[in-house]
Amino acid sequence: MGSSQFSSSTYDSNWTPEQNKMFENALAIYDTDVPDRWQKIAKLVGGTNEQEVKRQYEILLDDIKRIESGKVRLPKYRRNEGSSRINDISNEEQSRWGDEASSPTSLPQE
């Protein structure tokens, strides 16, 4: 598993955290019905190819299955001192938002 504090195999790959973030964003941009999806994702991520992107996707799916089955302990995140009101909103409250008018981006800044 390597020296990573995370048990997820995604973090043990040779991808940088920046590449992983770009990969996640690219998955949101290029849905499953997009022609040449893997090629486009690889280009957006940079420094990788279509086969590596497909492999990373399989790793991600495996990680999701392991997390959902309770086999992976999620890290405990600490709240930063200067966190905004947006960060103070619980997941339960977030799931209640039904439209943009009540989303955290419309909350007044302090």
- pLDDT at position 48 is 93
Angle, helix 37-45 to helix 50-68, in steps of 10 degrees: 90
Q: Is the per-residue pLDDT at 15 higher than 70?
A: yes
pLDDT at 73: 78
Q: Where are the domains of the chain?
A: 24-74
Q: Which fold has domain 24-74?
A: Arc Repressor Mutant, subunit A (1.10.10)
74 CB neighbour count, 10 Å cutoff? 9
Token pair 């486009």: residue: 40
pLDDT 10s digits, 34-52:
999 999 999 999 999 999 9
pLDDT of residue 95: 47
Position 75 scores a pLDDT of: 77
The CA distance from 95 to 77, in Å, is 20
Quick one: tokens of 108? 């007044």
pLDDT at 61: 93
The 10s digit of each residue's pLDDT in 53-101 is: 999 999 999 989 998 998 887 778 887 765 554 444 444 444 444 444 4
What integer is the mean pLDDT of 3-29?
73
Within 10 angstroms of residue 6's Cβ, the number of other Cβ atoms is 15
